[in-house]
A and B are shown apart, each in its own frame.
Chain A
Amino acid sequence: MKRLGISGAARIFLASLLLVSGLSFTSMAAANELVWGRPLPRNLDPHVASDLPIFFISLNVYDSLYRYEGKSSDIQPWLVQNKTVSDDGKTWLFELRHGVKFHDGHEMTADDVVYSFKRVLALGKSPASAFKGVLRPENVTKTGQYTVQFVLDESYAPFLASLPLVSIVNAQLVQAHVANDDWGQAWLSQHDAGSGAYAFDTSTYAPNSRLDLTRFKDFFLGWADNPAAFDLVRARPVLDPTSRVLALLKGDIDISDEYLPVDQVEKVQQSKLARVIIELPLRILIIRMNNSKPPFDNLHFRRCLSYAFNYDGFIKDVQQGYATRLTSPIPDGLWATPEHISGYGYDLVKAKEECAQAKSEGAPTDRPINVNFVSELPGTRQVAELLQSGAREVGVSLKVVPDTWSHVTASTGSAKTTPDMWVHFVSAYTVDPENWIGQMYGSKFAGTWKASSWYHNQKVDTLLDQARGSLDQEKRKKLYGDAAQEIVSDAADIWVANLKQTQGVSKRVEGLRFTPVGGISELRWAHPSTEGQ
């Protein structure tokens, strides 16, 4: 090697570069393959993960008793043939379809459903939160080969809306891989025990970089309604948002972000290979105020800040119109959306009045206040900085502090450690007002990140309890509406916007169906575009 010297090594390197460029070809996916470009959850166990990417697994690899379908996201029976509910709304009996096959060929029975619910409640992770204090494991019982009975502690209307959260796993398969009674978590985090439309190919799986899903021929609903479905779905996550957009434009990936960086939307719209699907995903953007910490315990100070935020500036300039104003804790597009609540506008005069009033009542308005934004959630920084410059106009100095999701959600465990203010989104896990107004302003949920404004109003609590208990949708709508009116007049938080989903999808793929819970993650309907790229 001696004689090669430096110039020799350089020659080899250049040669390899030239060789490489000679062979270049765009890596267009084969016709019946779809490339999923979004990040994968690190843990593929549907009963554990709580972040949005898990829908790619739960909607494609697993099935649930009920499932949300279509834009209006009305709930459809899925594994269930029929249900009977007792008059007091506490006993629910479901009869399963017969002949539903798991990926390993076993038939699904009531045992699998009972095991799945017991596992969810035992692990107590995010899917279990919807049933907290309502359903205890011992009350989920098998009453027949294909019938399961649930007995609730109290009448709970959102119970049905929460069922899609629980994926039914192959009990026999999971129990066979339990290690030191971890409910098979270690195994299921990297393996497939589902019955869904697509099955794992565990041989090629590499965490967060490669996952292949093959079409499950014996899927219980059959493939008649989508004969040209993709045979192979390759998940090749592109980690960086900007590079993900480039990959979409180049045709390396077929499905990109649910929320494209706003400035890229127009570019993708006009591109040759890709387009943008714009939908309303029931996702709200909110600035929380810790009502337990002065000066936020003063109603006027909360109103002062509510008037000091430039809502239109955010929607028109930052979101470039891909959002609509939110005036109450209930998102637009839901059956319970109140029509008459106008909320707070951007009005510095009123803001100054309210702050003066608060100061006169002795609220410490000039103590240093922190506004935490979440580094991983793009857009939250701009919201915090917008609020900061608005507040400065009315003489309130805020400090914008970057934070991480795991740190801030951990800190909402106690009122003392919860930040003064912080910015985040609330997405649709269950399409029911409970997912927003219920779990955010019911004082019994205090200590969770959703209820991190530590809001406490006896009147609102009673309204919410009644709304939870009643099965009559009209009555629930009125109850939630009154509760929302009360919360808005209390200015518990600053409700900013309903975000529009701007999903980048290759023109090569058609047939995708959108639903607020999971966006277009369900790929069962997708197929190559008809005019043949």
Chain B
Amino acid sequence: MPMDNPILEVSGLSVSILGDEGVAHVLDGVDLSIPAGQIVGVVGESGSGKTTLVKAILGILPKSARVESNSVSVAGMDLLGMNQRELTRKVRGKALGFIPQDPYLALNPSFKIGAQLTEVVRRYAGQSRSDATGDETGEPRERLAQMLRLVQIPDPELALDRYPHEFSGGQRQRLLIAAALMNMPSLVVADEPTTALDVTTQFQILKLLKRLTREFNLSMLFVTHDFGVVAQLCDYVCVLYSGQSVEFGPARTVIERPRHPYTKMLIDCHPERDGSMLGIPGSVPSPLSAPAGCRFCPRCPDAAPVCQIERPRPLSDASGMVACTLYNGARKEKSDA
């Protein structure tokens, strides 16, 4: 899939975290790019490294993490070379908008919504250092209220002077979305923003996100574990398994004709209306002791001996990328030799 100047370019990203029990290789050579104006979903079970990927892009990995990568660039800016101060000044909140997973924990309990949102605005709109309690006068407050109206927060003027605990989960997520879009970022990074919400609120939030990205021609990296959400929202999807990107392609193509065995099983295990549930036997391998070769091999129904030997080379073609011996011809060579 040729990409003309992608908003996000991640190639060969590996992240390992020095824990007490040893070194955990959480991400292993992940490649991902997001074309302008598109929504790319990253799907995987919990423990597949999705959140670590988000944190790596935002540069908020814990100190004990070690990052190796060819490049991680957003809107042309190479993030790896930047230190924390530069990331804060140039990237975070400006080029990159971030929507966290748990709205209950993400908002600072002791500050009014207006104050927290103003902090985001002031960074870049060149405003004078107005008072943090959010009752600043002039243009910024009007802009905040207008943004809240956009994310359908009832009577936004009052909302600015209220505290986080006075809002429901859904409303808090809308506030976080408003904060993320405040400075019209080049890329919005959303880390399972609807997982903590009930189904109906989840649906409204997804509808809102879709409308806003289309309306403001935003590009978004949407992390989730639910293919249903991908189907509703995403243009492209990347399937992550145990720190490796195993399949990438247009959402519709991958959903209708999944190629990688793991992708197939992920799609099939969507709970059917008739209540039958298809789970995936076994569990994601621990990053501490990742097996050689294809990490999915122990759980893969179509596994072949070759899969255990070396890691499958990714095959890129018109309909995207897949990293499995079924497609990259490794099996044929094996049988010829």
Contacts and interface: CB of A to CB of B under 8 A. Distances in A.
Q: Do A and B contact each other directly (Cβ–Cβ < 8 Å)?
A: yes
Interface of A: 2-3
A2 B132 CA distance: 9
Contacts of A2: 131-133
5 contacts: A2-B131, A2-B132, A2-B133, A3-B129, A3-B131
A213 B217 CA distance: 89
B265 to A, nearest CB: 55
A7 to B, nearest CB: 15
Q: Which 4 A-B pairs have the closest CB atoms?
A: A2-B131, A2-B132, A2-B133, A3-B129
Contacts of A3: 129, 131
Contacts of B132: 2
Contacts of B131: 2-3
A2 B135 CA distance: 13
A3 B132 CA distance: 9
A74 to B, nearest CB: 81
Interface of B: 129, 131-133
Nearest to B132: A2
A6 to B, nearest CB: 15
Nearest to B133: A2
What DSSP secondary structure best describes chain B's contact surface?
A: loop
Contacts of B129: 3
A2 B115 CA distance: 13
A2 to B, nearest CB: 7
What DSSP secondary structure best describes chain A's contact surface?
A: helix
A105 to B, nearest CB: 68
A139 B131 CA distance: 85
A3 to B, nearest CB: 8
B324 to A, nearest CB: 57
A371 B132 CA distance: 68
A2 B130 CA distance: 11
A2 B133 CA distance: 10
B118 to A, nearest CB: 13
Contacts of B133: 2
Nearest to B129: A3
Nearest to B131: A2
B122 to A, nearest CB: 13
B129 to A, nearest CB: 8
B136 to A, nearest CB: 12
A3 B131 CA distance: 8
A387 B132 CA distance: 71
A3 B133 CA distance: 11
A2 B131 CA distance: 8
A11 B131 CA distance: 21
A321 to B, nearest CB: 68
A490 B227 CA distance: 109
A2 B129 CA distance: 12
A5 to B, nearest CB: 11
A442 to B, nearest CB: 77
B237 to A, nearest CB: 47
B135 to A, nearest CB: 12
B174 to A, nearest CB: 28
A216 to B, nearest CB: 65
B137 to A, nearest CB: 16
A280 B285 CA distance: 95
A211 B246 CA distance: 92
A3 B128 CA distance: 13
A458 B133 CA distance: 90
A514 B60 CA distance: 81
A170 to B, nearest CB: 67
A3 B129 CA distance: 10
A468 to B, nearest CB: 82
B127 to A, nearest CB: 15
A391 to B, nearest CB: 63
A2 B136 CA distance: 14
B95 to A, nearest CB: 29
B300 to A, nearest CB: 58
A1 to B, nearest CB: 11
A8 to B, nearest CB: 14
A333 B132 CA distance: 81
